[in-house]
Amino acid sequence: LFGGVDMAGLPPGDPQLVSMIVSHLKTQGLFDQFRRDCLADVDTKPAYLNLKQRVDNFVSNHLSNHTWSPHLNKNQLRNNIRQLVLQSGMLEQGVDRIVAQVVDPKINHIFRPQVERVVRQFLSPGSCSEEPLNTPWRTLTWKA
């Protein structure tokens, strides 16, 4: 039983089981560890550097069309630039490339084995088996 729920009766991929597993992964600090590992690498990747340069150029070009004055509403200007950057679509494309360069290479060799180990321990407490999970990986849904 976990939180009053009989896990043995839940089929693989059951939303309640997935939710319990994700909660357990979070309490084990796995998501925070993955986040730290990825953030440590991100600023060295070409996709990040390219996106940073594109955003910097976009902001510089936009600001070149404005003349500074003491009465300039900086918050309004900042929000306007933020909206323009979001509407341009450059963030979505850039983030997809960053994920491909930072996260994708770590999924099979680093993240999956750690997640499978913690899930195995969660589903069979006290078991030290290193066998692959019987539950297909695709049944686990990542929700932060």
Q: pLDDT tens-digit profile of 11-21?
A: 888 898 889 88
Q: Indicate the SS3 state at residue 63.
A: helix
Closest residue by Cα to residue 144 from 108, 113, 103: 103
CB 98 within 8 A of CB 47: yes
pLDDT at 138: 43
In order of 33, 36, 62, 113, 128, the CA distances from 123 in angstroms are 21, 26, 54, 15, 11
Q: Please list, in sequence order, all residues whose beta carbon lies within 8 angstroms of the beta carbon of residue 66, skipping any fewer than 6 positions away.
A: 72, 77
pLDDT at 127: 62
pLDDT at 33: 93
pLDDT at 37: 92
pLDDT at 136: 47
pLDDT at 137: 44
- The predicted model scores a pTM of 0.66
CB 115 within 8 A of CB 140: yes
Under-70 pLDDT residues of the chain: 1-8, 127-144
Enter the tokens of residue 61.
């070009």
pLDDT at 112: 94
CB 103 within 8 A of CB 26: no
